[in-house]
Chain A
């Protein structure tokens, strides 16, 4: 079974926000709700400034607090290793939204929990997730970590990578490589 991960090359993100809206269109996300976002962080004092553009999304953690919190198994791990929500089982208790340290989840107007699915409907057709497909900077890179020839495997071999909130112990599958700047996570 593949081990899907996303590698985000932070210095290549130019903050075009195409990923934020492409995801919405691909997955028919309701107005006012988002499955991914871009954080623009600027530090320093004029004129010594540093900027990081960082996209954030569901990390499809290997130890997922949301799966643990779900009483009906609506939030579960699919066969391909990604964390998915079976909407028909979701009772809308919102425990998973509270459990997620990454603010990846939200409650839809229909009353069920929702989040990034790594576009599993596209993965099945051999396509990449919508955000990755449209990323102008080629900053979001997606693939099978178990395939040594994949771009993600190569990048993680060559560069130091960090994850968000590592101390939370969730073992995320979204890695950030940042060849120039330090910190900001």
Chain B
């Protein structure tokens, strides 16, 4: 019985992959194997995963603090070679993507990066997957002739698997990892806030057209009036660091689907636009009549954002 394997850094994301795997497992008559980080003597998560559809849990061994997470790669590869799963889904966090590519290289198998849709072929033999190319301007449909068929899966492609009654499964710990060639010297941790943006009903997006960080107060004032969340383009988060990186919307950031998106000084390059394709209404404010965002907008306001924002704020207060 070939398996469907899943791994995600984030526990919630892992539950989504179990759901995705379960949908396939019913047709492929295979078991679901979940790889979890070391449990530190607490099997609560393992039992939760089993209740939600996992048949087997593989615990990664504990790692010393200075060990790179990627030290686990040889262990996972050895298990895959032994158990020969059919499908291996990995959550597409930054670490997840590196892990997936390196495992795929060692197994000499194909990997569909950032898969946006996944279904079984008519003969139930292989996966048909889709992913974005050219920054989101086009879609590529792919299949993988080698095994396992690997894919990295963004958050929220599947809903989290639900708890079912009376399920049982095995729990197993993998042997210790060999020392990694990369050592961790230090860590600056930060917390995630992306959930608010992906759930937002109204979303304001700050682009490079906003001149100074202080000007965000104007955007915040509007956000308060609308009950909106604030996201941004990649230059704002990754170059200017005005907003946290998890606020970046687009190909390398998050996918959003608000009722209303307002782009404020956003040019509308395809890598950004692809993240807002599911917005119900797209409104944009840009002073360049040729700004590409106008072509994908429902309401295209051509003008200076420093004139338009105060007008909107005033209009809302009326």
Genuine A/B complex: no
A residues sitting closer than 8 Å to B (CB atoms) are none
Name B's A-contacting residues (CB within 8 A).
none
